[in-house]
Amino acid sequence: MDSEIKKCSWRTIDDFTSLNEFNRFVAWVNEQVENGSAKEAPTLVPYLGGSAFEEKWLIHLESGQTWRLVWPDGPFHGLFEKVI
């Protein structure tokens, strides 16, 4: 029996370079959910402690890590990061 926790291959994105890049990333995230690699989770603590930004939390199922995807809202360019 393999009880070892797997590492997450996801990486932080501090700043999407364009809306097109962000939209491609959202499509990739949706594929992760559809293929069973991830699932959506409730947003427990919103980004920067408020509700000014649209946000989605995801759990990487192999590692159990929770990540947040925050939508761009100029001048902020969006974010994908592990939730601590």
Is 29 part of any domain? Answer: yes
Q: What is the pLDDT of residue 32?
A: 96
Number of domains in the chain: 1
Is 7 part of any domain? Answer: no
Q: What is the pLDDT of residue 63?
A: 95
Is 2 part of any domain? Answer: no
pLDDT in tens, 23-77: 999 999 999 999 999 999 999 999 988 778 899 999 999 999 999 999 999 899 9
Q: What is the pLDDT of residue 5?
A: 63
Q: What is the 3-state secondary structure (H, E, C) of the chain?
A: CCCCCCCCCCCCECCCCCHHHHHHHHHHHHHHHHCCCEEEECCCCCHHHCCCCCEEEEEECCCCEEEEEECCECCECCEEEECC
Quote the domain boundaries for residue 62: 19-82
Q: Is the per-residue pLDDT at 16 higher than 60?
A: yes
Is 58 part of any domain? Answer: yes
